[in-house]
Structure 1
Amino acid sequence: MSTDVIMSESDQPLTSKPLQNGHTQESRAAQNGHVNGMVEDSDLSEDDDMPLSQTARTKSEPATPKSRNLKRKKLQVESSSEDDTPLASSPAKSVAVSMPGALQATSIPAAMVKNGKLNGSTRNVQASSDEDDDKPIAPRNGPSNSKTRPPPRKRVKKESDQSDDDFEDQIPLAKKKQPTRTRRQKPDSDADGSSEDDKPVVKKAPVKKPAAKKVKDEEMSGSETPQPRAKTIKSKKEASAPTSPKKGKGKKKEETEEPDEEVYRWWEQGANNDGSEKWQTLEHNGVFFPPPYEPLPSYVKMKYNGDTVNLSPEAEEVATFYAKLIETDHGKDDTFNKNFFDDWLKILEKCPPRDGTKIRDFTRCDFRPMYEYFEEEKAKVKALTAAEKKEIRESKAKAEEKYTTCLLDGRKEKVGNFRVEPPGLFRGRGEHPKKGCLKFRVRPEDITINIGKDATIPVPNMPGKWKDIIHDQTVTWLACWTENVNGNYKYVFLAAGSSLKGQSDMLKFEKARELKSHVDRIRKDYNENLKNKVMGDRQRATAMYFIDRLALRAGNEKGEDEADTVGCCSLRCEHVTLEQPNFIIFDFLGKDSIRYYNRVAVDQQVFKNIRIFKEDKLDSDDLFDRVTTSGLNKHLQSYMKGLTAKVFRTYNASITFQQQLDEGTPEKGTVQEKLNAYNHANRMVAILCNHQRSVPKTHEQSMEKMKDKIRAFKYDRRKLRHVLFNMDAKYKKKKKYVDDESDLEDDWIAQHEDKLKEKEIEKAEKKFAKDNEKLVEEGKKEHNGSVLKERIADIEAEFKRLKKERGTEKASLKRERPAEKIEEAITKLDEKIKTSKLQMDDREAGKEVALGTSKINYLDPRITAAWCKTHDVPIEKIFSKTLLAKFPWAMEVDDEWKF
């Protein structure tokens, strides 16, 4: 993959290692005529694994909505579960590239999975339904004190349509984690593999001393390692290697400790997915409403036709929603502006300006005074001291504390999205026709609470009464309401790491594994039906071919007020182009308006079928006019209970991931080389599932920083080499030291040394201030300014010496070191340079691919856990703390486990 970053040859990232057949993994993925396209820039950051959105698509011929909509009204709408929802999207073009063919990747004979067993356990695991268990289920008709009819059964649709500023105010503010006291374990217990941040504080083994100091568990011997309730992955080397106590530097303060909460190991009891009761008792504190609107200062006014306007609080609040966005892409979007202004006019009609101004023309509105005020407020927040910011965070966390957890069957479980969305403007994704519409403020009268019969009814944190109180033990949501823009139901569920969510995830992946024992029979049948004389059966077989081979979503019918996105069953003729001899070009907007573009070679019979299906049809006509999503899923369930098109997607993603890891992981590579192989496998799945993103705007900048980091290592290496040469000329003849760092230019070296000098001076100033603070605390006299000046003078003298050494091939160190130590330092720098190049290569390869969505939703986490154990890779380098908490059930598989 090419890059815009101009690098010297020695700065180039390391390329992928060739496979046994002489091809790289990338070249293998490019077989069958798959083509990767270009992607435009977006506002996505480097760390966000977000798929990109598509701007307005080009149509070969205007669609005829009338005829298409008549057909679609007859079809049933079936939504995919929330697991399909990408993290976010941004307006840009993308080109999807299919895998070497999911069929080849998934046709490897797999061991039959015994029904009802998980990881060798004899406990029964029941199959999930065609949707995940986290799909909301409407309350049953039965005893309850509801006054109104409960909300109908409907899927949850997550919506990330808040601005960065609004979202920042709504993000959970977790309290600072306190050190916890844990119990000792026996010497033969397993070692803890958690990260340093997660490690509990334990006491040293008792010795014959007055008191024992507390140290971190990484300083403890292996026999003193506490055993956690939920295990995390530790490599073989880490698990087997004994650790010895280290001497701590200085005294450690005694810390107040609280007992650690035990993790509920629900996976040892089997999962509940039979539609029966999910809980016996449920207590919670409802939801957290955002604070009421605070009017702007009297001097901040919008302008209309050049004159200030005295808006009512209701109209002013809506105006502020738009004012914050005038410099974003939303504020420049015609649809967004039109929808906002239409809804704002309705508010102005009910609550007109106090000064009688008649607002009729959007182009005469000037929201910039409001925008500038909000920018000033942002700057003030950024200027706060660390202590002030901490105080604000703690205050917010204290206010929200009681909403963050609930009691489920007597167990304390975390609640997920306990905050009610604040009012604002709907963003949507891609070319959503309702973007810019006003989202109303949600009040207690809009919310239905689900809670135990004997539990205390929570009191809202704003005036009002709940719409309804129900006690439905067959559903897992705690609260629900209807949002006004799309009419979708919003639900409050438990957090991702809760037992109920964990059961849903485990059952989903077990369902995908169960498909292994049926997939060969299914493929045989649909390949035979590709020639079926019954047109409906032939179309269904062709659709199944695409769903299996290309991991396409099944697709759902859309209404007039929804974005024009399609899936396999809802493809129109305009979305598919034939190219001789056997290539099909797909070009359509998929879920969340993400463009799917793929040129792929198909079987000759499939090519022939598509040509037949397109005959005598308009571009706007359905390609599979005799296939519906519900009909296809009903057919699939004749092969396996609970089988849907979505299960194929999860199965193909996980089995492809397993195969890519098995083929591409180097047995004797470094940790970074293995991580690169892991990320490559993850990228292949993300491409298969069309989880793409545009190149982050910060990509070139981050690559330049990594390039400078490598050069800094080379600068240090050159200095050490010259020191060795001055010590003994024989080192000049050694192969390891003979090559010079040729890409270190004089200008760069001068800039680098200037930056180093600035850092050293800043470090000296901070140390001087800290020393004076310590002296004041001890009641001693502070150092005067001359001490700091002397330190700065020493630093400047040192860098003058370095300046004189430039180009002389002579160097000296501040402190004398033996040649052996210098050789060791050079070896370590060589390893750092190699690791950094691998990281550059990995980042460059993944600049257009979003890895997070597939890692969270489509890749069985047990594959990662087993792989980490097999290849001695710390799982913390792959899974964040959030994912480790989400998948505790997956951490206990052995290293031989395979999907």
Structure 2
Amino acid sequence: MSSSSDDAPIARDRANGPISEDHISKEVDRKMDQETPSNGHVEPGVSIRMGPIDEMDVDAPATNGNVNGKRKARSSITNGNSYKEASSDEDDEPLNKRRRTSQQVAQPKDDSESELSDVPLVARKPPKASPAQIGESSDSDTPLNTKLVQKKEKIEQAAAKEAKAIRNKEKAAPKRKVKEESDSDDEPIVKKKKQPAKRVSNGVKKNESDSDVPLAKKKAPAKKTKAETATATKKTKGKGKAETKTEQDEEAQDEEEEYRWWEDPTKGDGTKKWTTLEHNGVVFPPPYQPLPKHVKLIYDGVPVTLHPDAEEVATFFGSMLNSTHNVENPTFVKNFFEDFTAVLKKTGHAKDKDGNTVTIKSFEKCDFKPIFEWFESERLKKKALPAAEKKALKEEKDAAEAPYMYCIWDGRKQKVGNFRVEPPGLFRGRGEHPKTGRVKKRVMPEQITINIGKEAKVPEPPAGHRWKEVKHDQEGTWLAMWQENINGAYKYVMLAANSDIKGQSDYKKFEKARELKKHIDRIRKDYKRDLKGEKMADRQRATAIYLIDQFALRAGNEKGEDEADTVGCCSLKYEHVTLKPPNTVIFDFLGKDSIRFYDEVTVDEQVFKNLKIFKKAPKTSGDDIFDRLTTSALNKHLTSYMPGLTAKVFRTYNASWTMARLLKEMKATGTIPEKVKQYNDANRQVAILCNHKRTVAAGHAGSIEKMQQKINGLRYQLWRTKQMILDIDPKQKKKKGADYFARPEDLDDEWVQQHIDAEVEEKRQKITKKFEKDNEKRKADGEKEMKPKELDELLKEAEDFGKKMRKEHKTGKVEAEGKGPTVEKMEANIEKLNQRIDNMKIQMEDKEGNKEVALGTSKINYIDPRLTVVFSKKFNVPIERFFSKTLREKFDWAIKSVDEDWEF
């Protein structure tokens, strides 16, 4: 769907640098065709490397190519008086799942780079993904890239077929006064009238014929009248009992009247989010407690006294000396010291023991060790507190925070998410943020705006303070907000992830992705046509949509002067894209959260040619590639296909649709761990096809080694159990053969010695912990504590165990254990051990396969959670194997709203 000339995006206003021509001449097209050899063509559409691997220097200002400084923002600065709902569609990625970057040691250029059409950003390419990394067998004759391309092509063909089928079905439906769905994409969809259906086991009405109708459009079940509810709740359990409601009755009633908002088509349709809202505000961090008089910052060898404000900032740095990642980062140190000296100037600098002023000018002369040692000693003291005391402190804290944990939203009790105001400290940021180390100032009540119902009681601010403002914004889903000083961003107190409002936000996101499946074929057909368009704006837009759809690039937004210089597809610069004939593109830039995005991909030949045109002279480093395209113009174009469609919906759609196709073809069999692995294999393919990647975690090798040690320990126990069979019946050696009873060769004498030592030490630790816990319980109950001598007696058990194991190893004979040991019992134990070993091997293979793939990112943010629920119910795998308790609460709506026949 090409835009008219009136709608064409205007070239961005640039202070310097060339702008692409308005139209692409046939001469330029022919010239680029001649420069792009067609031999050696590789099928496009799949990443061929698993970057990022190489290190990247991100401290230098020119990393992102802003030779003339950061790009001027096109959009206006966020209005401080605007209180619109914060978007969180793509901000839920857990930090520990994201890619990490580190600082680079300069590397010499490789002569082989001359074959590239541009000088690459990295001197050495990261290694290709091994077949094992994506669950493929290494002995396959078909190249991995070809397999994935073929799979992706099939999935896209199925998507186009499905889209046409849905539209044909809608057109063929008879026109009625009350229509199931509107034939026009722009007309509102009217809820359809449903026929009665049988209730399935999970309490959701089943109707296979409307699996494609969004749940929000389906008719809600009839609600009971107040009179009916009152009558129902008065029923008693037995004859002659008083008609009073017990606590169990109330719980049963709450369960019966659970608010199933996903079945209510009237919720969330308008802009008004609530009618009544009551809450108790926010919890402030405790005030600063000055250091003891003997704990000082040392400057140039002299202990100095600081004003409390300056001392607090010094403790921010001093308390985290063990965080070498931060305190050894030059940017972190520079930013901290600038802010620290600013506070020192404001508070009169430091004083020595005689009261003389000491001006702190050099960071190198500052010694924060005394501060760190004091904080470390306090931490150890707290850790050493008895369990009963820790429990009492926690109960005290929970009691103080209890009034803030819930709000009353339209008469319903809802859990509040982040009701605590962030304490002051040092900003760390994500990735290589340029403001890391800056001081996060203490947030005062005068900076906080409260959002609450008009009739509700406004929470009392701390004594001597007042709120900045009290709002009654019924269009907002926030309870309180303030502006932080680092990036000027607004922080919101929102409802918890498992609340109705948050659930509705997730639900709408995935329903929008479901809606996209009706239009995806037209969008792809149009952007593939526009890849050859004469107008530069059309061709740039089509190329950008291609990259967003095929490689999950984010659209990218404009940055203000003080923001981290991160980019997305529309804001890519000349040096972020390296072209390697015939059709390989290397992306290398700082993406969301200042985390490096590196990927080497094969693209359609026309896309490769377009990128060459967008980069042609006189463009050079620092110039925009998509200089006639903006994110807002791109999204405006997408809404012409479907209301509310933006670039980020493609990520959700592609992940969910791909997973839906893979699950449809799946025949999960075997044990639960085997089924979980098959689900993870599908999730892994989604993550690769949708480019959700990560670097290998620093502790991955150690984690795999621990798992292998556990497996080896079970294998040794298996050998011992077999030896017990010989102790019971020596004739079994002849019957089963000597090989059956042989110890595995890799479990040699040295390994056995280390294993026995580790087992003894583990037993000692367990005994000691139990002794300490029992003593704490005795103390809490007012009983006499056990003496250290009793611990020594208990520890003899571990020593005796060690002696027994060493004797077994020396003699090679193992005495049968247990009451009334028999060969049959030992064989049953062997079967159980073999099953445990197999399960652990599956888990280890799964973990190894996932080391470079961000399964969590796909599963939590982009794959419709209802698909995971369908797998769980269809193959009888507990949902706990896929969703943690927190995620089960977050996706409660998904777990309760679908059965195994639901389709995305």
Q: TM-score range with shorter-chain normalisation?
A: 0.7 to 0.9
Write the letter of the residue equivalent to 2:845: D
Matches within 5 A, 1:236-275: 259=251, 262=255, 263-270=258-265, 272-275=267-270
Q: 1:832 to 1:345 in 2, by over 3 A?
A: same
Q: Provide the residue aligned with 2:278 in structure 1.
A: 283
Partners of 1:574 and 1:457 in 2: how far apart? 54
Contact 1:125 1:507 in 2 (8 A): no
What residue in structure 1 maps to residue 406 of structure 2? Answer: 405
Please name the residue that 2:48 is paired with.
Answer: 34
SS of the equivalent of 1:112 reads helix
Deviation at 1:879, TM superposition (A): 0.2
- Aligned mate of 1:803, from 806, 810, 827: 806
Q: Does 1:895 pair with 2:896?
A: no
Q: 2:306 aligned with 1:311, yes or no? A: yes
Aligned to 1:626: 628
Q: Is the deviation greater in 682-691 or in 332-341?
A: 682-691
Residue 502 (structure 1) aligns with: 503
Retained in 2: the 8 A contact 1:589–1:596? yes
Instruction: Name the SS for the 2:491 alignment partner.
Output: strand
Q: Give yes or no for the alignment of 1:92 onto 2:87.
A: no
Amino acid at match of 2:715: K
* Structure 1, 472-481 or 749-758: larger mean CA deviation: 749-758
**1:760–1:351: structure 2 CA closer, same or farther, 3 Å change rule?**
closer
Structure 1 partner of 2:530: 529
CA contact (8 A) 1:596 1:690 kept: no
Q: Distance in 1 between matches of 2:756 and 2:44?
A: 45
Taking the TM superposition and a 5 Å limit, the aligned residue runs for 1:738-817 are 740-760=743-763, 796=799, 799-806=802-809, 808-815=811-818, 816-817=820-821
Give the superposition deviation at 1:332: 1.7
Moved more, 86-95 or 876-885: 86-95
Superposition map of 1:343-742 within 5 A: 343-352=339-348, 353-354=350-351, 355=355, 356-461=357-462, 463-616=464-617, 617-663=619-665, 665=666, 667-688=668-689, 690-726=691-727, 727-730=729-732, 733-734=735-736, 737=740, 740-742=743-745
| Aligned-residue offset at 1:441 | 1.1
Cα separation, 1, equivalents of 2:775 and 2:269: 68
| Residues 723 and 814 in structure 2, CA contact (< 8 A), matched pair in contact too | yes
Unaligned ranges ≥5, structure 2: 1-41, 80-84, 104-124, 130-144, 171-177, 187-198, 204-222, 224-246
> 8 Å contact 2:574–2:625 — kept in the other structure?
yes
Q: Residues 544 and 765 of structure 1: is their aligned pair in 2 closer, same or farther, counting only changes over 3 Å?
A: closer
Q: 1:299 aligns with which of 284, 290, 294?
A: 294
After TM superposition, give the deviation of residue 413 of structure 1 in Å.
Answer: 0.3
Q: Note closer, same or farther for the CA distance 1:376–1:763 as it changes in structure 2 (3 Å cut).
A: closer
- Letter matched to residue 35 of structure 1: R
CA RMSD of aligned residues (A): 4.0
Q: 462-471 or 629-638, which moves further after superposition? A: 462-471
Cα shift at 1:661: 3.9
What is the Cα deviation at residue 769 of structure 1? Answer: 8.7
Alignment check: 8 A CA contact 2:202 2:899 kept: no
Q: Which amino acid aligns with 1:743?
A: D
Shift of the alpha carbon at 1:803?
A: 2.8
Code of the aligned partner of 2:814: A
Secondary structure of the corresponding residue to residue 264 of structure 1: coil
Shift of 1:321: 1.1
Deviation at 1:380, TM superposition (A): 1.2
Do the aligned residues in 1 keep the contact of 2:89 with 2:506 (CA within 8 Å)?
no
Q: Per residue, is there more helix in 1 or in 2?
A: 2
The CA deviation at 1:540 is 0.6
Please say if residues 59 and 574 of structure 1, whose CA atoms lie closer than 8 Å, have aligned partners that are also in contact: no
Aligned partner letter, 1:632: L
Q: 1:689 to 1:364 in 2, by over 3 A?
A: farther
Distance apart, 1:280 and its partner CA? 1.1
Specify whether residues 326 and 729 from structure 1 end up closer, same or farther in structure 2 by C-alpha distance, changes over 3 A only. Answer: same
Q: Secondary structure at the match of 2:402?
A: helix
Query: Could you tell me which amino acid in structure 1 is paired with residue 71 of structure 2?
Result: N
CA distance in 2, matches of 1:788, 1:468: 61
**Displacement after TM superposition at 1:484 (Å):** 1.5
Distance 1:525 1:310, change over 3 A: same
**SS of aligned partner of 1:596:** strand
Closer/same/farther in 2, CA of residues 510 and 786 from structure 1, 3 Å limit? closer
- Which deviates the most, 405-414 or 329-338? 329-338
Give, in whole Å, the separation in 1 of the partners of 2:778 and 2:318.
50
Go from structure 1 to structure 2 and tell me whether the alpha carbon gap of 1:619 and 1:419 turns closer, same or farther (over 3 Å shift).
Answer: same
Q: What secondary structure, in the 3-state scheme, does the structure 1 residue paired with 2:901 have? A: coil
- C-alpha displacement of 1:312: 0.6
The answer for the alignment partner of 2:842 in structure 1 is 838
State how far apart, in whole Å, the 2-side matches of 1:257 and 1:358 are.
70
Identity over aligned pairs, percent: 50
Aligned residues of 2:51 and 2:695 also touching (Cα < 8 A): no
Partner of 1:177: none
Larger C-alpha radius of gyration, 1 or 2?
2
> How far apart are residue 466 of structure 1 and its match?
0.8
- Offset of 1:611 from its aligned partner? 1.0
- Of 334, 337, 342 in structure 2, the residue corresponding to residue 341 of structure 1 is 337
SS of 2:554's equivalent in the other structure is coil
Q: In terms of mean alpha carbon deviation, does 407-416 or 561-570 score higher?
A: 561-570
Per the TM alignment, residue 783 of structure 1 is displaced from its structure 2 partner at its CA by: 10
Give the C-alpha shift of residue 335 in structure 1.
Answer: 2.0
Query: Given that residues 315 and 347 in structure 1 are in contact (C-alpha distance below 8 angstroms), is that contact kept between their aligned partners in structure 2?
Result: yes
Task: Between 832-841 and 634-643, report the one with greater CA deviation.
Answer: 832-841
| Distance in 2 separating the partners of 1:440 and 1:678 | 46
After superposition, give the CA deviation of every residue in 1:623-668 in whole Å (9 maximum; x if it has no partner): 11111100000000000011000111110121222334445x5532
- For residues 421 and 650 of structure 1, the distance between their equivalents in structure 2, rounded to whole angstroms, comes to 31
Q: Please state how far the C-alpha of 1:91 moved relative to its aligned partner.
A: 3.4
Letter in 2 for 1:418: F
CA distance in 2 between counterparts of 1:781 and 1:391 reads: 21
Aligned to 2:234: none
Pair 1:123–1:669, CA change in 2 (3 A): farther
Q: Identify which range, 889-898 or 725-734, moves more after superposition.
A: 725-734
**CA distance in 2 between partners of 1:789 and 1:379 (Å):** 25
CA drift at 1:542: 0.7
8 A Cα contact 1:92 1:694, kept in partner: no
State the Cα deviation string for residues 760-819 of structure 1 (Å, max 9, x = none). Answer: 566667778999999999999999999988876676556544433326553221333122
1:105-161 CA distances to partner (integer Å, 9 max, x unpaired)?
Answer: 44423363999xxxxxx99999xx99xxxxxxxxxxxxxxxxxxxxxxxxxxxxxxx
Aligned to 2:220: none
Is 1:494–1:501's contact at 8 Å kept on the other side of the alignment? Answer: yes
Matches within 5 A, 1:163-178: none
Question: Does 1:870 pair with 2:874?
Answer: yes
1:728, CA displacement in angstroms? 5.0
Structure 1: gaps spanning 5 or more residues: 1-27, 42-52, 116-121, 131-187, 193-228, 230-254
For residue 822 of structure 1, give the secondary structure of its aligned residue in structure 2. helix
CA distance in 1, matches of 2:426, 2:779: 53
SS at match of 1:472: coil
> How many Å separate the matches in 2 of 1:303 and 1:371?
12
What residue in structure 2 maps to residue 174 of structure 1? none
Q: In the aligned structure 1, how far is the partner of 2:389 from the partner of 2:785? A: 27
TM-score, normalization: structure 1? 0.74
Residues 376-396 of structure 1 deviation map (CA, whole Å, 9 limit, x = unaligned): 111112211211211121111
Local SS of the residue matching 2:340: helix
Residue identity matched to 1:326: L
The residue aligned with 1:222 is none
Structure-1 residue corresponding to 2:190: none
> Normalization by structure 2: what TM-score?
0.74
Match of 2:858 among 849, 854, 858: 854
1:259, distance to aligned residue in structure 2 (A) = 4.3
Contact 1:757–1:796 (CA under 8 A) maintained in structure 2: yes
